[in-house]
């Protein structure tokens, strides 16, 4: 069986409350060996820790998502340091900038993003980055700070933006959007990108692939992303699965936790 890693899935979401054990079983049957579970706010950390503790297949990341800005408080940054000292984690995330939603104050977003980048560097952890209409600023901020590694998840930027991230050693998280034929720019990037920077993701319960349009997304659906990328690159699914799982294992160091 193929071994796959879902590098980004919010399986702590309430939408999985009724069937989370079955969701994990479907993921195992689909060959999903690892699932990275990023947080969105301080309130989600305990829930994620409990889910990952009960399911070794799942690996926690802790952070504060820019779209949940109203729920963040400065003291939560200190709490993040404590969380990382006292709980296993494979990354700091989901963090970043979102300039698509107009009522999210840019300056407050930048403050939380930069502080969390410093925390990740201090703990020598990779970052899981959200960069919606903010790829250039996210990239320049991380480059200026230095000493960082990680993934820009659900990448939707240009070839030039992708190349700048690869030059910094950053990965691209690719999920459901690549399965839609209209996503021509993203498909061109994925078809030719250096394989060492590719990670697969679902962003569950969001961003379902074309075959699951309108449905709740879940990690088992990662096989659809795999199939499309293999077709775009004219490579075997086995090869893509092996490389992307190795990339994820190297970045997140699953064995360490």
The pLDDT of residue 175: 98
Could you give the C-alpha distances from 211 to 39, 176, 180, 187, in angstroms and in order? 27, 9, 9, 17
Phi, psi (rounded to 5 degrees) for 14 = -60, -25
pLDDT tier at 256 (50, 70, 90 boundaries)? low
Helix ranges, the chain (H): 20-29, 45-54, 74-86, 106-122, 135-145, 159-167, 184-192, 222-233, 237-252
The dihedral through the CA atoms of 229, 65, 206, 253 has a sign that is positive
Give the integer Cα–Cα distance in Å for 141 and 95.
13
Q: Which residues pair with 226 in a beta bridge?
A: none
Asked whether the whole model's pTM tops 0.75, one would answer yes
CATH of domain 4-256: 3.20.20.140
pLDDT tier at 257 (50, 70, 90 boundaries)? very low
């Amino acid at each position: 069986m193929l071994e796959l890693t879902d590098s980004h899935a919010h399986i702590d979401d309430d939408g999985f409350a009724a069937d989370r054990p079955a969701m994990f079983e479907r993921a195992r049957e689909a060959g999903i060996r690892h699932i990275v579970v990023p947080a969105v706010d301080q309130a989600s950390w305990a829930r994620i820790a409990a889910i990952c503790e009960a399911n070794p297949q799942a690996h926690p990341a802790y952070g504060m998502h820019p779209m949940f800005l109203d729920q963040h408080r400065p003291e939560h940054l200190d709490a993040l340091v404590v969380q990382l000292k006292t709980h296993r984690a494979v990354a700091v995330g989901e963090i970043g900038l979102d300039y698509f939603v107009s009522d999210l104050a840019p300056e407050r977003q930048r403050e939380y993003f930069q502080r969390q980048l410093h925390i990740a560097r201090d703990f020598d952890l990779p970052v899981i980055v959200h960069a919606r209409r903010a790829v250039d600023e996210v990239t320049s901020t991380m480059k200026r700070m230095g000493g960082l590694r990680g993934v820009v998840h659900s990448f939707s930027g240009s070839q030039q933006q992708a190349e700048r991230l690869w030059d910094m050693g950053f990965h691209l998280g690719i999920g459901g959007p690549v399965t839609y034929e209209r996503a021509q720019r993203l498909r061109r990037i994925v078809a030719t990108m250096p394989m060492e920077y590719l990670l697969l993701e679902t962003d569950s319960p969001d961003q379902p692939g074309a075959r699951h349009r309108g449905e709740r997304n879940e990690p088992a659906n990662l096989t659809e992303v795999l199939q499309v990328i293999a077709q775009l690159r004219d490579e075997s699914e086995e090869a893509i699965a092996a490389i992307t799982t190795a990339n994820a294992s190297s970045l997140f160091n699953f064995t360490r936790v």
